[in-house]
């Protein structure tokens, strides 16, 4: 849910549109630089910048999602890879090729 003070900024978000959601991965560890991808110990340890691990020095999340519903200040999306309560930093449109 968005704060009322930014309501004018979300007025043109439409169902079906794709947007990027930037999140602050507030539970991420910042001292981890290598992980087993998808927490699978059978996979070789890999540097975090080559993975989608939330653990990283600057824990920003980038999620390409589709808007499923808009109801005043509440915008529901599909395919967001974040836990409940993850702070949203920004929302940006996915631009068409050549724009």
- The pLDDT confidence band at residue 99, using thresholds 50, 70 and 90, is low
Residue 66: count other Cβ atoms within 10 Å of its Cβ: 14
Look at residue 44 and give its three-state secondary structure: coil
Q: Range of 11's domain?
A: 4-93
Whether the per-residue pLDDT at 96 is higher than 90: the answer is no
- Total number of domains constituting the chain: 1
**Strand 60-71 to strand 74-78: parallel, antiparallel, or no bridges (unpaired)?**
antiparallel
C-beta of residue 70 within 8 angstroms of C-beta of residue 7? no
- Does residue 98 form part of some domain? no
Residue 47 CA to residue 7 CA, distance in Å, equals 39
Distance of CA 98 to the CA centre of its chain: 24
CATH code assigned at 10: 2.40.30.70
> Which pLDDT does position 60 carry in this prediction?
95
Tokens found for residue 40: 């699978």
Give the model confidence (pLDDT) of 1-60 as tens digits.
Answer: 899 999 999 999 999 999 999 999 999 999 999 999 999 999 999 999 999 899 999 999
- Does residue 87 form part of some domain? yes
Contacts of 70 (CB under 8 A, 6+ apart): 10, 13, 14, 15, 76
Give the number of residues written for the chain. Answer: 99
- Does residue 99 form part of some domain? no
């Amino acid at each position: 849910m968005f704060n009322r003070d930014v309501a004018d900024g979300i007025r043109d978000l439409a169902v079906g549109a794709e947007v990027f959601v930037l999140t602050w991965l507030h539970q991420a560890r910042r001292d981890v630089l290598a992980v087993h991808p998808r927490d699978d110990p059978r996979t070789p340890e890999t540097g975090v910048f080559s993975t989608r691990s939330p653990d990283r020095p600057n824990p920003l999340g980038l999620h390409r999602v589709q808007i499923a519903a808009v109801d005043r200040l509440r915008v529901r999306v599909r395919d967001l890879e974040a836990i409940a309560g993850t702070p949203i930093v920004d929302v940006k449109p996915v631009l068409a090729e050549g724009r």
